[in-house]
Amino acid sequence: MTANDTDITVGYIGLGNMGAPMATRLLDWPGGLVVCDARPEALAPFTGAGATAAETPAAVATQAQVISVTVLDDAQVRDVVDGPDGILTTAAPGTVIAVHSTISDLTAADLERRCRERGVDLVDAPVSGGAPGAKQGRLAVMVGGSEEAFAAVSGPFGRWAELIVHAGPIGAGTRMKLARNLLHFVSFTAASEAQRLAEAAGLDIRELGKVVRHTDAITGGAGAIMLRETTAPVAEDDFWHPILGHVRNLGEKDLSLALDLGERLDVDLPLARRALSDLGPGLGVGTGALSESATKEHA
C-alpha cells in the first residue's frame, strides 16, 4: 500500500472527543470507512452518513486495511490490538494499525513485535492540536514506524492532519509527543506563575492572557527557538550565535526585572529563577553576565 491507494478501506476504532472529528473527515474516503465504538450513540452519526459499523475490532479488521485506534490508555490499546476480539485475530497480512492514543513507547514497540509476527504493520502516531485541531483538520501527527507503513497511512492521515511527520522507527512518534507535551505543560505551569505575579501586582490576568495569546500568535511562542538540529553549544562564528545571544540577553534582563518585582510583592517565582540560570545554556550560548550576577542575588 502507498499514500495513493485510495481504494483501500479505512477503519476507525474509538469515536470520542478526538476520534470522532478525525473519523468524520474520512467519511468520504473513496474506499469506504468502517467504524467501531462501545457506545451505539457514538456510531449513529457515522452510519447515518454512510459508514459501516463493526461490533468489535476483529470485525473492523475483516474489512479494513488501514485501521486507526484512538482509545484511552495502554491497556485499552493492547485489548483493541491483541485482545480476544482484537484486530490481530482477523487482520490479513499487510494490514497497517495506527495507534493515535498517547501510550508508552515500550507498549508501542511490544505491540509492533506482536503485529510483525502476523505480517501486520503497526505505527505509533500520536497527534497534537487537541479537539479544535481535530475538528478543523489541522492536527499534527508524529509517526513512528517503517517507511512502508508510513507511506500506507499518509493518505488517510492527510484528511485530518495538516502536518504529518515521520519521526523515526516504532516508538519515535510517542517519544516526540512526550517531548512536545513536556513543553506544553511546563509552559502552563509558567503561565500560572506569571498570573500569580500579575495578580499580586494588581493586574487583570484575563487581559494579560489576551496579550499572551496575541503576541504568541505573532512570535510563535516557545517553538520559535526550535530551529537548530542539535542542543550542543553554538560556536561563536555560527550564524545562530548572535541571534540566540540576543534572545538570551533580552530574556535575562526581563527575567531579572520580573524576579525583582516578585521579591517586592513577596511572590515566589521558582520557574523564573530556574529560567534565569538555564536560558543561556539551553539556547547553547552560555550564561550572560547579567544571569551570573542576578542568580547570586536571587538565590
Residues tagged active-site: 177
CA distance 94 to 179: 31
CA distance 52 to 207: 48
- Note whether 34 and 55 are within 8 A (CB): no
CA distance 128 to 164: 11
DSSP SS3 for 202: coil
Q: Which residues pair with 143 in a beta bridge?
A: 166
CA distance 77 to 103: 8
253 CB neighbour count, 10 Å cutoff:
14
Which residues, 6+ apart, have CB-to-CB distance to 244 below 8 Å?
A: 225, 234, 283, 284, 285
The per-residue DSSP string of 252-289 comes to HHHHHHHHHHHHHHT---HHHHHHHHHHHHHHTS---H
Beta strand 33-36 with 52-53 is: parallel
CA distance 126 to 143: 7
| 222-231 LR contacts (CB < 8 Å, sep 24+) | 222/183, 222/187, 225/283, 228/284, 231/282, 231/284
